[in-house]
Amino acid sequence: MRKLWGVLLFCFGTLPVFAGDANELFYLLRARVLLVKDYTADVKMKINVTYMRVPQLSGTLYFKSPDKMRLERHGGLSIFPKKNTNLTLGNLIPDGKVIVLDMGYAEKAGKKLRILKIVPEDDQSNIVITKLWVDEANLLILHTESTTRNDGTVTMDLEFGNYIPYALPDKVTIFMDVKDYKLPNGLAMDYNDELDIAEKAKKEKATKGTIQITYLKYTINTGLDDDLFK
């Protein structure tokens, strides 16, 4: 059954309404996200932090599973370090063995979503606990809330449209605790000199910030070379 659903998903982009076990639902979601091994995307990115004025960025974003990411900005180049790859959905879904708890249903954005709480069994995982709000009809994750060891609590809203068959969003809004978070190198150096975002957050007593990424066009699973990310 799982293989059949995978074929239907990949070829046609549609799935029957899921009405099964929470544990099975999680593993189907994870398998679907992992179908994408790499992508190149034209993006627009906006960083919102109360004490910083950061103009909207645009460029080309390269991603290779599980944790390689590079942004070629118009007018510059940035490499996202590994610790900040929680900008992607795949890195907010724990790998390995997990405990899946069914938390029932809730209304969000006009939809009835099923909530799963995921606890990694590996105590070395950067993720301590993750909650997923799932659109079962389309087998999509529309909202996540993850407590991490390195970057505090990261919350993500996802909007889908043109790339549903690959579970790739058109728009992602990431809400994070800026007191625990560092801007990726190459973005930080343009706007805050030698002080990282966590240092400024402490000085300004700021606690929240957002990163909004709009994906304009994807090219998917082309076999990106590792050298691209060096």
Q: What is the pLDDT of residues 204-227, one digit of tens each?
A: 555 678 889 999 999 999 999 999
Angle formed by the axes of helices 22-33 and 2-12, to 10°? 40
The pLDDT score that the predictor gives to residue 51 is: 61
Asked if 105 contacts 113 with a C-beta cutoff of 8 angstroms, the reply is yes
The pLDDT score that the predictor gives to residue 210 is: 87
pLDDT(5) > 50: no
Q: Please state the domain extents for the chain.
A: 2-46+53-176+209-221
Digit-coded pLDDT (tens) for 48-100: 876 666 678 889 999 998 888 888 887 665 655 455 555 677 777 888 899 99
- How confident is residue 108, by pLDDT bands cut at 50, 70 and 90? confident
**Rounded CA gap, 8 and 101, in Å?**
27
- How confident is residue 39, by pLDDT bands cut at 50, 70 and 90? very high
Map residue 127 onto helix, strand or coil.
Answer: strand
Q: Write out the CATH class of domain 2-46+53-176+209-221.
A: mainly beta
pLDDT(198) > 80: no
CA atoms within 13 A on the CB side of 194: 0
**Rounded CA gap, 199 and 220, in Å?**
37
Name, in order, each residue with C-beta under 8 angstroms of 175's C-beta and a sequence gap of 6 or more: 154, 155, 156, 157, 208, 209, 210
The pLDDT score that the predictor gives to residue 77 is: 54
